[in-house]
Amino acid sequence: VLQATRPTAVNLGWALARLRGVWRAACSRGAAPRDIASLLREAADRLHREDTAMCRRIGEAGLALVPRGATILTHCNTGVLATGGIGTALGVVYTAHAMGRAVRVIATETRPLRQGARLTAWELSRAGVPVNVIADSAAASLMAQGEVDLVVTGADRIAANGDTANKIGTYMLAVLADAHRIPFYVAAPMSTFDPSLPDGAGIPIERRDPAELDAAPGVEARNPAFDMTPARLIGAIITDRGVLRAPYAEAIDAVMGEHADGPRA
Amino acid sequence: VLQATRPTAVNLGWALARLRGVWRAACSRGAAPRDIASLLREAADRLHREDTAMCRRIGEAGLALVPRGATILTHCNTGVLATGGIGTALGVVYTAHAMGRAVRVIATETRPLRQGARLTAWELSRAGVPVNVIADSAAASLMAQGEVDLVVTGADRIAANGDTANKIGTYMLAVLADAHRIPFYVAAPMSTFDPSLPDGAGIPIERRDPAELDAAPGVEARNPAFDMTPARLIGAIITDRGVLRAPYAEAIDAVMGEHADGPRA
């Protein structure tokens, strides 16, 4: 049931598989239900601690890509409200802020669920990071006016060649950044990589309730919740194992191969 | 007061100037207030009839650009709810529909005021034109999937070189259409042209109430209501005097010169 809630993202399935492994091992040892629950709780706490450390490492890795005084455009929410730590794309922002880089953020509203306007704006402003919200459709003109220095987004699933599925609108930002010669980066932990998929064509794109778009009565909305950004539009992938650059197939293979026991294990 | 409500659009100012001309001429003849009111009413009715005819001519001119079975992406509202007739960009859609071209429409939601989801979707569906609403940020991925055959938008003001100011997000669509090699057209009456401006840099961009974006408490939104699309991204401008193609400075000059008494006079 939990896994079916997020067909596009792969981290949740990865975390559930880890907990299922703990549960099966305990069952096969004939552990008592109370002990199994306790083992699962320990495994979940360990996941949480790892997630916190992973966010910190993503933030540190991304620092090299953030010039002093940069205005960073980001999409959706990828911060303390979305992860166990300081976040992925927002982890980069928080780390740059903490290091005195004097960054500013432009948060896209992120229709239809408005995670940028509601969540990203809230947590950045609470942390003292200067932030403005814009309509998703205003990103292009701000780029044309030279008001965006770089774009950093999160990822829901990254294929073996670097193709990245993320919140609807991410591909839009990648195309626009490319047209305006603005760096476009993805920030994500290794658990977001899905080496079983050669490219993004195989990533299922969840379609959500058309009612989220509140169209005029009798009119059907189309509401894909994610889109796919091809690797060629991604300037770098900022991971908890460092900054990956194209060609991504080799770069991803190299960092995943270093850890033969699987992602972040 | 009326004119100050729309700093970016130029049609309203043009229509008000025409009515002011009627008023001044009547005043200088010493006409009675009741007669002045009646003359203004007549002039306004004439404007309305002209607007209806102008929409029809835009629709007819645009027909040549709409292949049978085309899926047309449009932005904001430019139809019967926005003009005195069948509309500008939607005038093209309605005409193609009436001529049996079997067109379909994708209407962008158009944040923040949602004219696409509320108005365009309503009037197209009422007229029997198949229409789907999408989030503004979903246009890019639909283009990548080959689901958009052409983009047609309206215009609030067109400079002498063809640079066009229109609802925020129009420039986004023009850049995305260019990146996906999809034709991008603007539909507008001659009264939308402002030959006094050599290019789009001089068009004032209205900034509306940040509250329209409903950001988290304490966070400032930036809410430009329009953006500027450079002429080089516009495949054609569909007008009531025919379809204009680049180089626009010459094309605009030629059609405006044909009518030495001014736009649509």
Contact A215 B121 (CB under 8 A): yes
- Determine what percent of chain B is predicted with pLDDT higher than 70: 97
**Beta strands, E only, chain A:** 71-74, 104-108, 131-134, 150-153, 157-159, 164-167, 184-187, 193-194, 220-221, 226-229, 236-239, 242-244
Return the exposure string of B158-186: e unless at least 16 CB atoms fall within 10 Å of the residue's CB, then b.
bbbbbbbbbbbbbbbbbbbbbbbebbbbb
Q: Residue B257: which pLDDT band, with cuts at 50, 70 and 90? A: confident
Contact A141 B216 (CB under 8 A): no
Spatial separation of the C-alpha atoms in residues A90 and A79, rounded to whole Å: 5
Average pLDDT, stretch B26-54? Answer: 96
- Determine what percent of chain A is predicted with pLDDT higher than 70: 97
Give the model's pLDDT for residue B180.
98
Give the model's pLDDT for residue A258.
74
Contact A176 B171 (CB under 8 A): no
- Cα B26 to chain centroid distance, Å, stands at 32
Give the model's pLDDT for residue B264.
42
Q: What is the pLDDT of residues B176-227, one digit of tens each?
A: 999 999 999 999 999 999 999 999 999 999 999 999 999 999 999 999 999 9
Question: Which residue out of B219, B223, B228 would a mutagenesis test of the A interface target, given it has the greatest number of A Cβ atoms within 10 Å?
Answer: B219
Q: What is the pLDDT of residues B118-149, one digit of tens each?
A: 999 999 999 999 999 999 999 999 999 999 99
Lookup: tokens for B117: 């989801």
- Determine what percent of chain A is predicted with pLDDT higher than 90: 94
Q: What is the pLDDT of residues A105-138, one digit of tens each?
A: 999 999 999 999 999 999 999 999 999 999 999 9
Contacts of B255 (CB under 8 A, 6+ apart): B190, B239, B241, B242, B244
CB pairs under 8 A between A and B: 172
For residue B220, the chain A residues in CB contact (below 8 A) are 132-133
- Determine what percent of chain B is predicted with pLDDT higher than 90: 94
Q: How far is CA A4 from CA A24, A204, B113, in A?
A: 20, 12, 34
For residue A169, the chain B residues in CB contact (below 8 A) are 135, 137-138, 140
Sheet bearing A226-229, strands edge to edge: A193-194, A157-159, A164-167, A226-229
3-state helix, strand, coil in chain A (%, to 5): 45, 15, 40
Contact B135 A136 (CB under 8 A): yes
For residue A114, the chain B residues in CB contact (below 8 A) are 214
pLDDT at B106 over 70: yes
Burial (0-12, 13-18, 19+ Cβ within 10 Å), B67: middle
For residue A221, the chain B residues in CB contact (below 8 A) are 117, 132-134
Is the minimum CB–CB distance between B195 and chain A shorter than 8 Å?
no
Give the closest-approach CA distance of B29 to chain A in angstroms.
49
Q: Which residue from A106, A117, A142 is facing B214, i.e. has the nearest CB?
A: A117
Return the exposure string of A210-242: e unless at least 16 CB atoms fall within 10 Å of the residue's CB, then b.
beebebbeebebbbbbbbbbbbebbbbbbbbbb
| Residue from A126, A115, A209, A119 nearest A166 by CA | A115
Q: Which residue from A132, A135, A221 is facing B112, i.e. has the nearest CB?
A: A135
Give the model's pLDDT for residue B265.
34
Give the model's pLDDT for residue A259.
60
**Mean pLDDT value across chain B:** 95
What is this model's ipTM? 0.95
Q: Which of A1-10, A30-39, A81-90, B53-62 has the lowest mean pLDDT?
A: A1-10
C-beta of residue B28 within 8 angstroms of C-beta of residue B57:
no
Give the model's pLDDT for residue B259.
60
C-beta of residue A120 within 8 angstroms of C-beta of residue A77:
yes
Lookup: tokens for B121: 């979707």
Is the minimum CB–CB distance between B224 and chain A shorter than 8 Å?
yes
Say how many C-beta atoms besides its own lie within 10 A of residue A83's C-beta.
Answer: 22
Q: What is the pLDDT of residues B35-45, one digit of tens each?
A: 999 999 999 99
Q: Residue A57 — left, alpha, or beta (φ > 0 → left; ψ -120 to 50 → alpha)?
A: alpha
Give the closest-approach CA distance of A207 to chain B in angstroms.
12
**Beta strands, E only, A61-169:** 71-74, 104-108, 131-134, 150-153, 157-159, 164-167
Average pLDDT, stretch B220-240? Answer: 98
Helix (H) or strand (E) holding B121: helix B121-126
Give the model's pLDDT for residue A87.
98
Look at the pTM and tell me if it is higher than 0.90.
yes
Spatial separation of the C-alpha atoms in residues A130 and B219, rounded to whole Å: 9
Give the model's pLDDT for residue A169.
98
Which residue is it, tokens 């049609």? Answer: B11
Q: What is the pLDDT of residues A44-62, one digit of tens each?
A: 999 999 999 999 999 999 9
pLDDT at A263 over 50: no
For residue A119, the chain B residues in CB contact (below 8 A) are 216
